[in-house]
Amino acid sequence: MKYEDYIGTECPRCLEIMKTYPALSRSDNSTYICSPCGTHEALEDFSGVGAIDKDLWPHIRRADRGISGVVASIQDFFKSIMSDTTSKGDK
Ligand SMILES: [Zn+2]
């Protein structure tokens, strides 16, 4: 499958239809995922927890589809990191 052929197909990670060029998933380096998921994985990687395992896909609920859902899940993710840090500081 050619790179551009992925446009219009379903992202295996969030089940969203890919509207732009795909990103190579960091979870296995062989699966193409949508661009927002690629960004999400990069943030997961950057945060130190690593990209969510492929076995746990689809990672984003259908109710959260679209870029706003991805952004919200990234915000939740960072909130959870922040609250973890805060709770550790309280002890
Ligand atoms: Zn996706």
Please, are residues 45 and 26 in contact by the beta-carbon 8 Å criterion?
yes
- What average pLDDT does this structure show over 23-36? 93
Residue 3: how many CB atoms within 10 A of its CB? 10
Hey, what are 1's tokens? 């499958």
The pTM assigned to this predicted structure is: 0.64
Q: How far is the CA of 86 from the centre of ligand 1 (A)?
A: 30
Q: How far is the CA of 38 from the centre of ligand 1 (A)?
A: 7
Q: Give CA–CA dist 33/20, Å, rounded.
A: 10
Q: Which residue has the tokens 């197909």?
A: 9
Q: Give CA–CA dist 46/56, Å, rounded.
A: 19
Q: Give CA–CA dist 4/22, Å, rounded.
A: 8
DSSP secondary structure letter of residue 35: H
At 62, the pLDDT band (50, 70, 90 cuts) reads: very low
Q: Show the domain range for 57.
A: 3-90
Supply the pLDDT for residue 47. Answer: 82
Supply the pLDDT for residue 63. Answer: 47
At 19, the pLDDT band (50, 70, 90 cuts) reads: very high
At 9, the pLDDT band (50, 70, 90 cuts) reads: very high
Domain count across the chain: 1
Q: How far is the CA of 83 from the centre of ligand 1 (A)?
A: 26
Q: How far is the CA of 87 from the centre of ligand 1 (A)?
A: 31
Question: Could you report the per-residue pLDDT of 70-86, keeping only the tens digit for each?
Answer: 677 777 778 878 776 65
Q: How far is the CA of 8 from the centre of ligand 1 (A)?
A: 12
Mean pLDDT over the full length of the chain = 81
Q: How far is the CA of 1 from the centre of ligand 1 (A)?
A: 18
